[in-house]
Structures are given as structure tokens and as C-alpha cells.
Amino acid sequence: MRLSDKPASACHGPSCGCAAHLSRRRFMAGAAALGAAAVLPAGARGETARLIDTHHHFYAPAYQKAWLAWDEAHKITPFPSQVVWTREKAVEEMDRNDIRTGILSLPSTPGLWFNDGPEAAARMARTCNDFGAEMVRDYPGRFGLFATLSMLDIDATLKEIEYVFDKLHADGVGLQTNYGDKWLGDPVYRPVFDELNRRKAVVYVHPLVAACCANLSPGIPPAALEVPHDTTRTVTSLLVTGGFARWRDIKWLFSHAGGTIPMLAGRIDAFYARRPNRAEFAPDGIFAELRRLHYDTANAANAPAIAALTKLVPTSQITYGSDYPYFALDQWKSLRELGFSETDLAAVESGNAMRLVPRLHA
């Protein structure tokens, strides 16, 4: 089964030219700052560091090259850390910022799509997954892997699931909130999620700007509004189509404190709680389905976001995330100012991630 070749929006979130073109001066300054930073030996703090970062991006060299070419073709100024990223720099940054383990995932935009079709996307997925697995092997204890899937050709995606779990021993898979004009609740993806459910997989979901909406609000960076909204779109898609009810053994993890889900949960409940078929897609109620999900704290370690999230879900459903290299690894400093008890902090910073991925136990 093969889906449309139509790519998702070319908007790159923080790196998108339409969001905030970075000047060459800013690029050079960012590169210099990373290059001049003090260096600790790789793994120097790995055994004593506290945190597990469940939202940690990486770039296989082939992917990095293809993305930079994409940026150039679309006249997008690349985000500085996207250019200078290396796996060695990632470990150095983790050592400086108390991160014991980063679970690797591919950035969502432009994903694996470079206008070259499903076959090329499947090859790029394999390249990225092999590179991520190599990082896990070469830096014992420092990395986990949420393997990427192209989702453009269902048969190829099912083969990649078999490969990443049975050969690479991935810790889960990382998906986008949408693929072109389809969100994750679309029935075309049912075979994929049936298999992930059979494997009791962790499914980590990262948002991007939907193809419909990159220029929806002129003058407002799409990454500021449309990216978090897209998490809400795909969560609602999975909810109302019965995906969460059907795939009970998948362990779902959503980015950025659930986007706008915590604020809109009551509104979603108001529209769907009294549907005659509600028991089919939310047998215990809308709020119960949303409370079962896991959410990371990436770019959301602030009082309003965390207050809304902790009103929706117990602390057991929250994991630490950074969105590195686009945002700083040390967001735990802000998290520690938000009133969590020491027990809850320990759960958010590492305990909940170890429950999701038992292999990561120290």
C-alpha cells in the first residue's frame, strides 16, 4: 500500500525561514559559541547525571546533507546547531547539562521527504535508524533510539518496524503528527499501529506545521502556534477515530506538554462526551483517555504550561524533554522552580522514562 508522494509543509519550526530568518551573523555566532564551549571527556558524567531526555534530536550525516540542500533550495536559513551538530558535541552538551541519557529521534520537518518519493524516504529512514543504533552502541548508556518510519508506503513501513525492533533493538518509534494531509488517526495507518500495538511499543510523536497551515497567520511564526496545535489535531484524531481504544498496548508519548491539549481537553469533552457511540472510542470517558497518554516537557517548562498539564494528568505521565539542539538541554532548571516535590521531580526527570523504557534503568 502506497500513500501520496505529497510532502508536508516545508516549514522547519525554529529553523524555518518563514518563522524567523537567521542572519549570517547569528549563524556564525551560534557556531562559534558551540565550538568554543568547554569540553569534558565523552561520558564523563554519564554515570552520575540525573536526567533522561526523551526529546533529543539527531542527524545522520546523509540526512544532515539532504536537509541543508533542502534549506538552500527553499531559501531557508538553517538553524545554527543544525549545521554544527555532531554526535560528539551532543555528548559534550549532555555532560555539561546533567543529562545521563538522550533518547534519539529524527526532527519532524521536513521529515524524510525531499521530493524524491516513498522509496527514497524508506532508504533515508534505514540510514537514519542505522546511524542512531550506532550511536547507542558507541556510547553505552548515553542514548536510546526512537526509530523513524516513513509512513509513505505501508508495506515498507511494516518491514522497517520489523527491522528496527528485531535487528536494531530500538526503544520505540518516533512519528510525525501528520504526513501531508493525513493525521495519525487516519485509517490508512491502521496496519502500522496494529503491529506497534502487538509489539507493545513506545510511540513518540513530534509535531510539525501541517501542509494546510504554514501561512495561516501572516506575521506569526508557524512554529509558535501551528506546531503545538498540530499535536492537538493528531491526539484528537487518534481519540475520536477509536485509535486509543483500539491500541491499548501502545505507550504514547507526545511532545511539548501535549501542545494545546491541556487547555482544550474540556472543550473536546464537551463536544464528544455525549456522542451515542462515545463508549466505542472513549470507554472510560474523554478525560480518562487523555490521562493515559504521556507528555514531555520540551519547551514547556513554564508555569502556565505545567499547571495546565498537571491538572490534566498525574505526574507519572510526564517525562523530561529538551528538543535539543533547537532548545537548551538545561530546561530542568526552570522545571525545578515550578513546585514539584522531590519525589515528583525524580519521576519526571528520569523515573517515568525508565518505566517507559526499562532498558534505561541505571
Contact 134, 145 (CB under 8 A): no
Positive or negative, the Cα torsion across 286, 291, 294, 295? positive
Q: Which residues contact 306 (CB under 8 A, 6 or more apart)?
A: 257, 297, 300, 335, 338
Q: Residue 327 is placed in which grid cell?
A: 532548545
- Report the amino acid identity of residue 42: A
pTM for the full model?
0.87
| Euclidean distance between CA atoms 194 and 295, whole angstroms | 22
Band the pLDDT of 226: cuts 50, 70, 90: confident
Identify which of 222, 77, 34, 65 has the alpha carbon closest to the alpha carbon of residue 131: 65
| Euclidean distance between CA atoms 260 and 40, whole angstroms | 38
Specify the residue for cell string 508519548. Answer: 253
Chain centroid to CA 199: 20
Tens of pLDDT, residues 200-224: 999 999 999 877 776 778 878 777 8
In this predicted structure, what is the pLDDT of residue 352? Answer: 98
In this predicted structure, what is the pLDDT of residue 44? Answer: 47
Q: What's the whole-number mean pLDDT along residues 12-21?
A: 39
Q: Which residues contact 42 (CB under 8 A, 6 or more apart)?
A: 88, 91, 92, 95, 139
Contact 104, 145 (CB under 8 A): yes
**Residue 21 DSSP label:** P
| Euclidean distance between CA atoms 230 and 184, whole angstroms | 11
CB hemisphere CA count around 340 (13 angstroms): 27
Identify which of 177, 205, 211, 207 has the alpha carbon closest to the alpha carbon of residue 10: 211
Tens of pLDDT, residues 298-321: 999 999 999 999 999 999 999 999
User: Phi and psi of 110, rounded to 5°?
Assistant: -85, 25
In this predicted structure, what is the pLDDT of residue 223? Answer: 79
Band the pLDDT of 3: cuts 50, 70, 90: low
Q: What SS3 state is found at 333?
A: helix
Positive or negative, the Cα torsion across 30, 211, 231, 51? negative
Where are the extended beta strands (E) located within 255-345?
294-296, 318-319
In this predicted structure, what is the pLDDT of residue 212? Answer: 78
Identify which of 159, 238, 164 has the alpha carbon closest to the alpha carbon of residue 201: 164
| Euclidean distance between CA atoms 183 and 113, whole angstroms | 16
Report how far apart the first and last C-alpha atoms of the chain are (Å, whole number).
41
Confidence check: pLDDT of 327 > 60: yes
Confidence check: pLDDT of 362 > 80: no
> Crossing angle of helices 303-312/261-272, nearest 10°?
40
In this predicted structure, what is the pLDDT of residue 48? Answer: 64
**Residue 229 DSSP label:** H
In this predicted structure, what is the pLDDT of residue 5? Answer: 45
**Mean of the per-residue pLDDT values for the chain?**
86
276 preceded by a cis bond (ω within 30 of 0): no
Tens of pLDDT, residues 112-159: 877 678 899 999 999 999 999 999 999 999 999 999 999 999 999 999
Identify which of 160, 143, 157 has the alpha carbon closest to the alpha carbon of residue 105: 143
The proportion of the chain whose per-residue pLDDT surpasses 70, expressed as a percent, equals: 86
In this predicted structure, what is the pLDDT of residue 32? Answer: 38
Q: What's the whole-number mean pLDDT along residues 331-353?
A: 96
Tens of pLDDT, residues 87-101: 999 999 999 999 999
| Euclidean distance between CA atoms 360 and 106, whole angstroms | 20
| Euclidean distance between CA atoms 242 and 227, whole angstroms | 23
Band the pLDDT of 30: cuts 50, 70, 90: very low
| Euclidean distance between CA atoms 351 and 358, whole angstroms | 10
Least reliable range by pLDDT among 109-113, 125-129, 159-163, 329-333: 109-113
Q: Are strands 99-105 and 294-296 parallel, antiparallel or unpaired?
A: unpaired
Tens of pLDDT, residues 257-292: 999 999 999 999 999 999 999 999 999 999 999 999
